[in-house]
Structure 1
Amino acid sequence: MAIKDLAGASTGAPQSRLVEMSWDPITRIVGSLGIYTKIDFNERRVAECHSTSSIFRGYSIFMKGKDPRDAHFITSRICGICGDNHAVCSVYTQNMAFGVRPPAMGEWIMNLGEAAEYMFDHNIFQENLVGVDFCEQMVRETNPSVWEKAKSTPAPHGDIHGYKTIADIMTALNPFAGDFYRQALQISRYTREMFCLMEGRHVHPSTLYAGGVGTVATSQLFTDYYARLMRYVEYMKVCVPLHDDLFDFMYQALPGYEHVGERRILLGCWGAFQDPDYCDFTYRNMTNWGRKMFVTPGVVVDGKLVTTDLVEINLGIRILLGSSYYDDWQNEETFVAKDPLGNHVDRRHPWNMHTLPTPKKRDFNSQYSWVMSPRWFDGKDHLALDTGGGALARLWATALAGLVDIGYVKATGNSVQINLPKSALSGPVSFEWKTPKWSNAIERDRARTYFQAYSAAAALHFLDKAMEELHAGRTRSWEPFTVPDEGFGCGFTEAVRGVLSHHMVIRDGKIANYHPWPPTPWNGNPRDVYGTPGPYEDAVQGTPIFEENGPDNFKGIDIMRAVRSFDPCLPCGVHIYLGEGRTLETVHSPVAPFG
């Protein structure tokens, strides 16, 4: 692999040093992520970025011919981290295709399980993976001047979280040794137990089915959940102000850091947490019951909410090719020509797509990834939406829609108010997440903390509603159904790290076509047929470099923060290639222990 040293113009402009660097793999459960960059060390900026995935899974192929009732058990294995989100989305899809409406108790139990999953996954990713990028050891090695400033900067909320300076917070995030790092590991145990109480097994649920759940509702069940939830509430009262102090400091210590990982505000949220009083899972009523979800679906473009209509969201999905290893399906069979409302369904919609893999040698001028390029068509442009790591899009869409008001959580039109009640060690606390100026690395990370508090507050509401059902004697949690010979359905929810949809077509009582679209391809896709880069590529390309190390000892911390802010599943290893002069040498990454 060669490095290009680009000479300056004849006017005497200084030479640029354009260095090719690659991190591959940044290993993920749903594939193997690689980030390939060209960095201009004179301009201190990433000049070019390509995002690759080197693993082909093929779920859309081997789902064909399966019993539709098995779809959620199979698709939960797509991921070893958010498998329950896939199971839930598949169950939603089956409910529509089978024409079944679960009892209210079944939906409240499922909501409680998913709330626990958001708390579990966001917490462990934020503190034990993302947090390491801001810990003492990493900051010392990449920005020693920032570390020196952190030692003398008081933490504004130190009286709440107990750390006097920003440096103390960074030290608390050191892997395995830091106090807050270890506390997060302990908290993750409670949230995992909460999940298992509702869905039986983590991360592949054993109690979820089309038509409801197999979990038996009892006072003991909900009490056990509540006891663990209040420990988490106590933790969040400390966690939110701690992260606000840390992230606000980054802006203060490094002017211009708002541009790290920044891209145009193009956010997609498919909504989460059904309200059984309104949700009947029929496509004809999807617009109405979608807007009753406790996380509002929506598309946000340049800070403006352009729709909250799940039907419009569904019809706008397009799966594009361009830089991925697949043949086009333009001449293949069309499965769904019109939706149940009579709307035209595009050939590039998931109901009609075909997976035709064509392995090739990676070529950044042609095809270089196994990820296709999902886009949302607004009638004019194919928008490269991202999920903001999940939390940013959820909070942004919910805030602007202003539809959620359940006491514990209220959307105001430009913010989300989160109210946590009195707990064993502290009184009631209210937080307010306000729509930020940027869609960037710091705000994706900040939103992840606030959405943990949101999930805890929402879970308190779900517990209240479940106990109402229990005390009224309405404990039935499953509704019988029959599988049609012909039919189709779709499900929409939020995986922890963002939008998740499943689309299924049934023929002769078997699955004829099935396509799950999780957040990873929405965020990690390559350049499409129009040349539009995917969100990882877009967010990294143009990112300024604040790291104080030169090319010879470069760790790529600003790039890593940008990529990890999207929460692309769990990173476990990073390899970096760099070199001197015109020859690239392969070296072990200094980042690897923290990857």
Structure 2
Amino acid sequence: MTTSKERPRELVEMAWDPITRIVGSLGIYAKIDFAAREVAECYSTSSIFRGYSIFMKGKDPRDAHFITSRICGICGDNHATCSVYAQNMAYGARPPALAEWIINLGEAAEYMFDHNIYQENLVGVDFCEKMVAATNPGVLELAERTECPHAAEHGFRTIADIMRSLNPLEGEFYREALMMSRLTREMFCLMEGRHVHPSTLYPGGVGTVATVQLFTDYLTRLMRYVEFVKKVVPMHDDLFDFFYDALPGYQQVGRRRVLLGCWGSLNDPEHCDFTYQNMDDWGRRMFVTPGVVVDGNLVTNGLVDINLGIRILLGSSYYDDWAGQEPFVTHDPLGNPVDMRHPWNQHTIPRPQKRDFKDKYSWVMSPRWFDGKDLLPLDTGGGPIARLWSTALSGKVDIGYVKATGHSVQINLPRTATRPETTFEWKIPTYQGEPLSNALERDRARSYFQAYAAACALYFTERALDEVRRGRTQTWEPFEVPEEAVSCGFTEAVRGVLSHHMVIRNGRIANYHPYPPTPWNASVRDVYGVPGPYEDAVQNTPIFEENPPDAFKGIDIMRAVRSFDPCLPCGVHMYLGGGKELRKLHTPHAFGAG
């Protein structure tokens, strides 16, 4: 690689730091090669140590979901839910079916809320008229002349009209999306009492009082969201397809090898008993099917395989190794050997030190998934692309409102106030015959998954109402905390894979490790020098921005990073290697984390 000493005028050192997130402050450091029009080098950093895995030790396991929900200020309910799943396994608890439908309705509302506010009010800013005018005026000029293929569905005549609707605070669609975020938060609170730290969610079920009126209140809001999402999907299809046409080669922005992980979510209470012995079976019955997708192919959709394959490497992170420590777990409940680098056996030994990009530079470890041969740096694609891809390939979901075909996911939405019955189909993305995971396809999947979550919620509402009408209104089952147990919980946080691993000894937590999507996506170079997903996706990303180096805003890099749904920057500072600040770009305040 050409060094800054050889070509100092053609490299710009850029930093996005801090970007607040659940495991600290995310920083993206990159060097831009303007001669080659690409990113030459990238590092992902986290500057804050949180230590949940340390202070969970010795706690009453029944407090785990209340504590771990505070890991994040936006997806705390995902952590609480995952912790409850792990507790159910440890306690041998199986909640009543109605409780599971209520939890599913809460999680579906969270997906709708977070994906909506992130996609429309934060990602959308990168594609709005003002941003495009400042970075690619030629593209905006073309957008003014380009008619929208789906204008009848979303109401915008030209692509430029869509861009104007995304302008912060003043854009029509921007404001409409803000209203939808309020509705979806209300939907969550109806099910679990409080957003984002649930007050009625417990192991064994929920404390929610289930009535016909409760689900009717949820459904009236849901149908307004269904009406809205019928506009969301075709609008984003038009916008993202336009960028491919306007900027040939844009498929390479944020592109990396397809290495996707999905841990599955939304349990089916008819099959889920939370036992480890049956985990493969009830995992495959989830309404979002778990799976590991490598180069476009499904490697496994078994949760036991997924669990046993997790490895936590240290690499360039600020920790001492725990090799030589006594393992907590040598074999899983099925008798399979458990690796020392598995979360059940992890010891968190922080070692603060000065950041050095040639050595240690982040508090984020390097989670990897072992396929029996290689340690794969899986990413979540921001969540939706991995969920849809895994569900599509598995071909197991078929509930009328949604159907996995083996190569796509069909989403059927009923007639609403002003829009007819609508069917969307998310198809596995390809480019020149190869599977494609890049910035725009991650963003596109987020729109489709909003529709998917809404469709699932319609089904869950029907099932919950059926339980109430049959008089099966119990929402909680008692349990006892064992003296000894090992357990795990798997679900999908908004941004992707989420697991909680717990070891109980003498009735107390002996070891506890939550792994949300951010450590997977923001992981650093591991002990073998393999970069994490953010780093990998940004390195070698081409630059299409029209501005010269002295006015460079880095919009293509921003789109690549934001497509993963990281926590968001309140400000981006771009500077030369000598320390001179070129530009200070302020974006709307971050609503998300994780």
TM bucket by the smaller chain? Answer: over 0.9
**2:368 and 2:522 mapped to 1: Cα distance?**
12
**1:143 and 1:234 mapped to 2: Cα distance?**
33
Instruction: Provide the TM-score with structure 2 as the length reference.
Output: 0.97
**1:556 and 1:507 mapped to 2: Cα distance?**
51
* CA-CA distance at 1:25 after TM superposition: 1.5
Do the aligned partners of residues 294 and 593 (structure 1) sit closer, same or farther apart at CA in structure 2, a change above 3 Å counting?
closer
Residues 247-326 of structure 1 mapped to structure 2, 5 A cutoff: 247-326=240-319
Confirm or deny: 8 A CA contact 1:275 1:292 kept in the other structure: yes
User: 169, 173, 187: which is aligned to 2:166?
Assistant: 173
User: 552, 555, 564: which is aligned to 1:554?
Assistant: 552
Confirm or deny: 8 A CA contact 2:19 2:567 kept in the other structure: no
User: 432, 435, 439: which is aligned to 2:428?
Assistant: 435
Do the aligned partners of residues 479 and 291 (structure 1) sit closer, same or farther apart at CA in structure 2, a change above 3 Å counting?
same
Three-state SS of the structure 2 residue aligned to 1:589 is strand
Question: Which amino acid letter does the alignment assign opposite residue 245 of structure 2?
Answer: Q
2:340 aligned with 1:335: no
Question: Which amino acid letter does the alignment assign opposite residue 277 of structure 2?
Answer: R
* CA-CA distance at 1:591 after TM superposition: 4.9
Three-state SS of the structure 2 residue aligned to 1:576 is strand
Three-state SS of the structure 1 residue aligned to 2:571 is coil
Instruction: Name the structure 2 match of 1:222.
Output: 215
Three-state SS of the structure 2 residue aligned to 1:385 is coil
Confirm or deny: 8 A CA contact 2:101 2:464 kept in the other structure: yes
* CA-CA distance at 1:29 after TM superposition: 4.3
Q: Which moved more, 1:19-28 or 1:415-424?
A: 19-28
* CA-CA distance at 1:549 after TM superposition: 1.1
Confirm or deny: 8 A CA contact 2:15 2:572 kept in the other structure: no
Question: Which amino acid letter does the alignment assign opposite residue 250 of structure 1?
Answer: F
Confirm or deny: 8 A CA contact 1:217 1:475 kept in the other structure: yes
Confirm or deny: 8 A CA contact 1:16 1:42 kept in the other structure: no
**1:551 and 1:219 mapped to 2: Cα distance?**
61
Confirm or deny: 8 A CA contact 1:298 1:397 kept in the other structure: yes
Identity within the alignment, %: 74
Instruction: Name the structure 1 match of 2:579.
Output: 584
Instruction: Name the structure 1 match of 2:433.
Output: none
Residues 415-426 of structure 1 mapped to structure 2, 5 A cutoff: 415-426=408-419
Cα deviation, 1:59-94, whole Å, max 9, x if unaligned, reads 000000100000000000000010000000000000
* CA-CA distance at 1:45 after TM superposition: 0.3
Instruction: Name the structure 2 match of 1:460.
Output: 458
* CA-CA distance at 1:51 after TM superposition: 0.4
Question: Which amino acid letter does the alignment assign opposite residue 79 of structure 2?
Answer: H
* Stretches of 4+ aligned residues off by more than 4 angstroms: 591-595
Structure 1 stretches of 5 or more lacking a match?
Answer: 8-14
**1:94 and 1:594 mapped to 2: Cα distance?**
35
Three-state SS of the structure 2 residue aligned to 1:351 is helix
Question: Which amino acid letter does the alignment assign opposite residue 506 of structure 1?
Answer: I
**2:362 and 2:159 mapped to 1: Cα distance?**
40
Question: Which amino acid letter does the alignment assign opposite residue 546 of structure 1?
Answer: F
Cα deviation, 1:205-259, whole Å, max 9, x if unaligned, reads 0000000000011000000000000000000111100000000001000000000
Question: Which amino acid letter does the alignment assign opposite residue 215 of structure 1?
Answer: T
2:200 aligned with 1:202: no
C-alpha RMSD of the superposition = 1.3
Instruction: Name the structure 2 match of 1:408.
Output: 401
**1:309 and 1:594 mapped to 2: Cα distance?**
39
Count of aligned residue pairs for this structure pair: 584
Question: Which amino acid letter does the alignment assign opposite residue 397 of structure 1?
Answer: S
Residues 149-164 of structure 1 mapped to structure 2, 5 A cutoff: 149-164=142-157
Cα deviation, 1:104-163, whole Å, max 9, x if unaligned, reads 000000000000000000000001100000000000000010010000000111111111
Three-state SS of the structure 2 residue aligned to 1:111 is helix
User: 534, 537, 543: which is aligned to 1:536?
Assistant: 534
Instruction: Provide the TM-score with structure 1 as the length reference.
Output: 0.97
* CA-CA distance at 1:28 after TM superposition: 2.6
Q: Which moved more, 1:68-77 or 1:330-339?
A: 330-339
Confirm or deny: 8 A CA contact 1:305 1:400 kept in the other structure: yes
Residues 179-198 of structure 1 mapped to structure 2, 5 A cutoff: 179-198=172-191
**2:456 and 2:544 mapped to 1: Cα distance?**
38
Three-state SS of the structure 1 residue aligned to 2:501 is strand
Instruction: Name the structure 1 match of 2:64.
Output: 71
Confirm or deny: 8 A CA contact 1:95 1:281 kept in the other structure: yes
**1:485 and 1:206 mapped to 2: Cα distance?**
26
**1:215 and 1:342 mapped to 2: Cα distance?**
38
Confirm or deny: 8 A CA contact 2:12 2:33 kept in the other structure: yes
**1:489 and 1:589 mapped to 2: Cα distance?**
47
